[in-house]
Amino acid sequence: MKINLVKNVLEANEAAAEQNRRRLDDACVLAVNITSAPGSGKTSLLEATVPALADELPAAVIVGDLQTTRDAERLAAIGAATTQINTEGGCHLSAAQVAKALDTLDLTSLRLLFIENVGNMVCPAAFDLGEHVRVAMLSVPEGDDKVAKYPTLFQPADVILIHKIDLVDALDCDLARIHADIAKLNTRAPVFETSTKTAAGLDQWYNWLRTKCP
Ligand SMILES: Nc1nc2c(ncn2[C@@H]2O[C@H](COP(=O)(O)OP(=O)(O)OP(=O)(O)O)[C@@H](O)[C@H]2O)c(=O)[nH]1
Ligand SMILES: [Mg+2]
């Protein structure tokens, strides 16, 4: 009797991720995987970013949450083509889930695909979704110790956003400590201080996306 064994979940995920990336490459779409803790501001960032770049870089969003279509409803309200994935308990998106979501989108009309991962600082880091670039967000209300405590989120990031920067003075938050901890883990990724309340740093973020687009 022949037994086929998929060695482990990560290996199977990696194969699906490579297929997603090839599909996105063929369509000349840049896939951007956004990872952060719950409530850091991922959907708010996309509510600002998608309309700001719409004329030059049409974008769609795949958004992952355990339950509800609330984020998809917010993004649909600003006119973004959006597909919601409900993981029903899963703490991260998988490449297979993203593959199914890709079937719902017209990739030929897109230049950018944002994937808003499930809010979680640990699990999404281990799962390649077929993205080209990875965004790690930390919002200042989470605390200035979080980069050092959750290094797997920040180490592989291609860009790091220190978000809700408008709140930095109201909180007991040591911004220099955040920058120093990032510098110990990742000297490759640019770091932008951003806010969707004041628009601080958003131009830097948009310009970075422009440089990454095929
Ligand atoms: N002060 C401030 N608040 C913000 C900013 N960005 C987002 N928020 C607020 O933070 C809260 C959470 O924002 P979301 O965009 O829903 O966060 P999220 O990361 O998508 O949350 P999940 O999808 O649940 O993980 C909302 O009340 C936003 O209005 C910001 O730059 N500054
Ligand atoms: Mg969200």
Q: Does residue 94 register a pLDDT over 60?
A: yes
6: confidence class by pLDDT, cuts 50, 70, 90: low
Domain assignment of residue 41, yes or no: yes
Quick one: what percent of the chain has pLDDT higher than 70? 98
Domain assignment of residue 68, yes or no: yes
Structure token pair of residue 205: 């973020």
Counted domains in the chain:
1
Write the CB contacts of 207 (distance below 8 Å, at least 6 apart in sequence): none
Pair type for strands 30-35 and 133-139: parallel
Q: Which residues surround ligand 2, an ion (CB under 5 A)?
A: 42-43, 71
Structural domain span for residue 83: 9-212
> Distance of alpha carbon 77 from its chain centroid, rounded?
20
Say if residues 59 and 50 touch (Cβ distance below 8 Å): yes
- In this predicted model, which residue has the larger pLDDT, 1 or 171? 171
pTM of the entire structure?
0.95
**Ligand 1 pocket member 97 (CB < 6 A):** no
Domain assignment of residue 122, yes or no: yes
- Cα-based distances in Å from 20 to 67, 131, 214: 24, 8, 16
Q: State which of 40, 42, 44, 118 you would mutate to test the pocket of ligand 1, scoring each by most atoms of that ligand within 8 A of its C-beta.
A: 44
Domain assignment of residue 4, yes or no: no
Domain assignment of residue 60, yes or no: yes
Domain assignment of residue 42, yes or no: yes
Domain assignment of residue 2, yes or no: no
CATH number, domain containing residue 191: 3.40.50.300
Nearest to 45 by CA among 209, 194, 147: 194
pLDDT at 117 (0 to 100):
97
pLDDT tens, residue by residue, 55-82: 999 999 999 999 999 999 999 999 999 9
Domain assignment of residue 31, yes or no: yes
Q: Does residue 7 register a pLDDT over 80?
A: no
